[in-house]
Structure 1
Amino acid sequence: MASSSNIGGSTRVKSNISPCAAPEIRGIVEQKENWGGWATTLNDATIFEYIMRQVGCESVAVRELYSMEEDYLREVKSCYGIIFLMPYNEHYETQAGEELKDLPDGMWYSNQIADNACASYALLNILMNLNNVPLGTQLEGFREFTLGLLPPHRGQAVDGFKSIKNAHNSFCFRYEIEEADLILYEEAVRDSDPKSELKSKENHGGKKYKTEEAEVARGHTDQIDGPHHYIAYVQVGGCLWELDGLKQTPFKVGDCNNENFAVCVGSRMRELTARCSDLSIDFGIFALEPAKAPQLDKQHQANAREIGAIERKLQEIDPHSSLRKEDLLSGLLILPPSDTDDFGHHNGMMTEQLVELRTDLIQKQKAIEMEKDNLFNEESRKALELARNRHDYEPFILTMATMVWAQQQAEAKTIKPKKKGRKGR
């Protein structure tokens, strides 16, 4: 669960340092990496992508969806899984789900044992179920390591997964770490104090208190002010599964396939959101799908090898039809065909047909290169946005405020000369 109270650091900024002192920045980074807890994360697709990239997963992208209506989701194709951000309430019931005693064959599921880590748990609950997608050595090694563990033990393994925790916490601020530690301290004091009013209410309220609580939950729509929670949806074995790390087991929502996966998830999300009468409550929907860059690179290289095969054939049957020197110097990528390439459709083609096919491939290459340039510009924009989100401006703000205050105090102590009054005539 992502708590509404974001939680932060330990040391305060010294007043005698420059606004952007490098040692101070290094100290903040080290503090985040050495902290044992988890901070809340912003509901942003670029942050999910950043976490994946930091653990070596380059083949999956995250796209934010802006509606849970069927007509909109029907256009969402090639979706690996969906992460749903919703207001958290412990009284949410999975009425459409079927609780299991054992996990189905091939399913990876982890319980969430760390507060505020639901974003990374939801992300891993999807990625670990992608069997035919390259995830990188770190994630594939982690999946292999946790394959024989029970969901609670996998949750402990996730809590100790240093790389993903550092990526997750890289967007938190020092005050968030301080608040998180303070909350844990207050909870420990409350649990150890037998006179605690909250503990007495929970332990001695008895069946009557629990019954009244359940009646309130059933009689009112879920109204949440603050805490939100990430839930993962994935397709395994022809069924839609709801992977909520706070639940003991996954829930089988119903049958689905690759074509109607997003539509089925939308139906489930609408069921959950129907319990919230406050339409101003924020929700977030994030789809995990194949990353464009690896696909573009793969197609670009395949086209380059086919152009190379055509050039080789033209050299044999009509050398005058080969590419000119200007074409070769224009940056056109030409690669020799590999042993696994099958260009049997070139056999029997006349010179004119081969030249026409080569021209068509060159045009496709230019379109791919343009799309790659646009993608690079978009990734550069995301990188700049991420850098701004990760930077902790608190030291700068506090230092500048201290400098302004010191300047004001110095000016107040300065004795100003009195103005001489003019003598009357």
Structure 2
Amino acid sequence: MSSSNKVGESTRVKSDISPCAAPEIRRIVEQKENWGGWATTLNDATIFEYIMRQVGCESVAVRELYSMEEGYLREEKSCFGIIFLMPYNEHYETQAGEELTSLPAGMWYSNQIADNACASYALLNILMNLNDVPLGTQLEGFREFTLGLLPPHRGQAVDGFKSIKNAHNSFCFRYEIEEADLILYEEALGDSDPKSELKPKDSHRRKRAKFNEAEVAHDQADQIDGPHHYIAYVQVGGCLWELDGLKQTPFKVGDCNNENFAVRVGSRMRELTARCSDLSIDFGIFALEPAKAPQLEKQHQANAREIGAIERKLQGTDPRSSLRTEELLSGLLILPPLDTDDFGQQDRMTTEQLVELRANLIQKQKEIEMEKDKLFNEESRKALELARNRHDYEPFILTMATMVWEQQQAEAKTGKTKKKGRKGR
């Protein structure tokens, strides 16, 4: 489960020391890394991407979707999978679907063993089923290691996957760690208390019936500020599967293909949200799709090799049509073709056609470079946003609040003293 709404002496740090080397910040980082639990996660696409990047997955991006309507999702043709965030209440428990007695061949599915970790479990339940997508050494090694395990044992392996747990907990605050530990302590204390099993359930039901209106208001508030849960949707074997780590097995929603995958997921999400109150702003939808940066770089390299092939061809037939010195010095990337490249169509082209093709490729290169610059700026903005979200401002706020309170107390005391002095005169 995860929540969707999360919104002394001074230490002088030398300018040549990284902020992370400051003792206070370093202690907070070490506390997160050494903590055995999982914190709740913001429903933010950049955080999902950050978790993937920390475990070496560069080929997948996450983008937030803003509607579950068919007309909107019909345009989503390249989704690897979809993560859906919904309130965790009594409506969640009444899900329909075809429950399996065993997993289909080739499907990777993990039960959620740890509390508050549903975001990372949902993410892995999609990534581990992408057999044709490069995931990086860590994730591919983890998939190979867990391939022969049962879903509960895979869940335990995820709980022990330190890299992804550290990335997941990067955005938690110290008070969240303390609250999570306190909840576990109270649950353990309650399980060990024999009196907790003797509480009459009928009187509890009567109280709920008596305060029905208050319960309705509480239910609506709970859907906004209460616990939430991430569910994964992925296509395996020509079927749409709902991979919910809290369920014993996946649910087969129905047949689907690449063209209607997002539409079928939207239909399923509308079915689930229809059971809740009309608070659609409280749901989150995130699509996993191919990352743009590797695709742009791949196309940029391919164009550079084709330009190199054209240059080699022109130098052998008409050297006067080769690129001029100023064009070569303008930063244009030219690479020799690989043995696997096939530019056989150039053999049938005239010099004029080759020059025109080269000009078109150069223009494409400029457009790709502009797109790469735009993407770099966007990634820089995300990195700054992530850095701000990761920083724990609690110590600063507590220190400032304490200083303000002490200042107010000092001013109040000084004011009373002066007032008494004037009265004595």
TM-score, length-scaled by structure 1: 0.89
Give, as a single letter, the amino acid of the residue that structure 2 aligns with 1:140: E
* 1:164 corresponding residue in structure 2: 164
* 2:175 corresponding residue in structure 1: 175
* 1:331 corresponding residue in structure 2: 331
Cα distance change on mapping 1:3 and 1:349 into 2, 3 Å: closer
* 2:189 corresponding residue in structure 1: 189
Cα distance change on mapping 1:78 and 1:3 into 2, 3 Å: closer
Conserved? CA contact 2:81–2:288, under 8 Å:
yes
* 2:353 corresponding residue in structure 1: 353
Query: 3-state SS of the aligned residue for 2:130?
Result: coil
Equivalent-residue separation in structure 1 for 2:57 and 2:157 (angstroms): 19
Q: Displacement, 1:405?
A: 3.1
Cα distance change on mapping 1:390 and 1:95 into 2, 3 Å: closer
Q: Work out whether 1:16 is the aligned partner of 2:12.
A: no
Equivalent-residue separation in structure 2 for 1:378 and 1:125 (angstroms): 27
Conserved? CA contact 1:17–1:399, under 8 Å:
no
* 1:10 corresponding residue in structure 2: none
Query: 3-state SS of the aligned residue for 2:232?
Result: strand
Equivalent-residue separation in structure 2 for 1:5 and 1:83 (angstroms): 17
Q: Give 5+ residue unaligned stretches, structure 1.
A: 7-14
Conserved? CA contact 1:65–1:285, under 8 Å:
yes
Q: Give the paired residue count.
A: 402
Equivalent-residue separation in structure 2 for 1:194 and 1:360 (angstroms): 79
Equivalent-residue separation in structure 2 for 1:246 and 1:121 (angstroms): 10
Conserved? CA contact 2:233–2:240, under 8 Å:
yes
Task: Within 5 Å, give how 1:123-162 maps onto structure 2.
Answer: 123-162=123-162
Give, as a single letter, the amino acid of the residue that structure 1 aligns with 2:353: Q
The structure with the largest helix share of the pair is 2
Give, as a single letter, the amino acid of the residue that structure 1 aligns with 2:189: V
Query: 3-state SS of the aligned residue for 2:194?
Result: coil
Conserved? CA contact 1:94–1:251, under 8 Å:
no
Cα distance change on mapping 1:91 and 1:65 into 2, 3 Å: closer
CA deviation vs aligned residue, 1:263-292 (integer Å, no higher than 9, x gap): 000000000000112326500000000000
Cα distance change on mapping 1:109 and 1:133 into 2, 3 Å: same
Give, as a single letter, the amino acid of the residue that structure 2 aligns with 1:329: L
Query: 3-state SS of the aligned residue for 2:195?
Result: coil
Give, as a single letter, the amino acid of the residue that structure 2 aligns with 1:295: Q
Task: Within 5 Å, give how 1:356-375 maps onto structure 2.
Answer: 356-375=356-375
Q: Displacement, 1:406?
A: 3.5
Give, as a single letter, the amino acid of the residue that structure 1 aligns with 2:347: N
Give, as a single letter, the amino acid of the residue that structure 2 aligns with 1:57: C
Equivalent-residue separation in structure 2 for 1:4 and 1:149 (angstroms): 31
Equivalent-residue separation in structure 2 for 1:155 and 1:373 (angstroms): 40
Equivalent-residue separation in structure 2 for 1:190 and 1:406 (angstroms): 40
Q: Displacement, 1:403?
A: 2.7
Give, as a single letter, the amino acid of the residue that structure 2 aligns with 1:298: K
* 2:16 corresponding residue in structure 1: none
Moved over 6 A (4+): 417-421
Query: 3-state SS of the aligned residue for 2:288?
Result: strand
Q: Work out whether 1:299 is the aligned partner of 2:292.
A: no
Give, as a single letter, the amino acid of the residue that structure 2 aligns with 1:86: M
Q: Work out whether 1:68 is the aligned partner of 2:61.
A: no
Equivalent-residue separation in structure 1 for 2:344 and 2:4 (angstroms): 61
Cα distance change on mapping 1:156 and 1:332 into 2, 3 Å: same
* 2:59 corresponding residue in structure 1: 59
Equivalent-residue separation in structure 2 for 1:264 and 1:162 (angstroms): 34
Q: Displacement, 1:19?
A: 9.1
Task: Within 5 Å, give how 1:228-239 maps onto structure 2.
Answer: 228-239=228-239
Task: Within 5 Å, give how 1:22-421 maps onto structure 2.
Answer: 22-90=22-90, 92-93=92-93, 96-196=96-196, 199-201=197-199, 205=201, 224-225=222-223, 226-279=226-279, 282-412=282-412
CA deviation vs aligned residue, 1:119-154 (integer Å, no higher than 9, x gap): 000000000000000000000000000000000000
Conserved? CA contact 1:122–1:245, under 8 Å:
yes
Conserved? CA contact 1:19–1:395, under 8 Å:
no
Give, as a single letter, the amino acid of the residue that structure 1 aligns with 2:103: L
Give, as a single letter, the amino acid of the residue that structure 1 aligns with 2:140: E
Q: Displacement, 1:411?
A: 4.3
Conserved? CA contact 1:308–1:336, under 8 Å:
yes
Conserved? CA contact 1:81–1:289, under 8 Å:
yes
Q: Displacement, 1:321?
A: 0.5
Q: Displacement, 1:418?
A: 9.4
Equivalent-residue separation in structure 1 for 2:290 and 2:258 (angstroms): 14
CA deviation vs aligned residue, 1:379-402 (integer Å, no higher than 9, x gap): 011111111111101111112222
Equivalent-residue separation in structure 1 for 2:12 and 2:98 (angstroms): 56
Equivalent-residue separation in structure 1 for 2:318 and 2:94 (angstroms): 70
CA deviation vs aligned residue, 1:51-97 (integer Å, no higher than 9, x gap): 00000000000000000000000001110000000011255356541
Q: Displacement, 1:182?
A: 0.7
TM-score, length-scaled by structure 2: 0.89
Query: 3-state SS of the aligned residue for 1:170?
Result: helix
Q: Displacement, 1:2?
A: 1.9
Query: 3-state SS of the aligned residue for 1:119?
Result: helix
CA deviation vs aligned residue, 1:181-218 (integer Å, no higher than 9, x gap): 1111111111111112xx334xx759x98xx99xx9xx
Conserved? CA contact 2:91–2:275, under 8 Å:
no
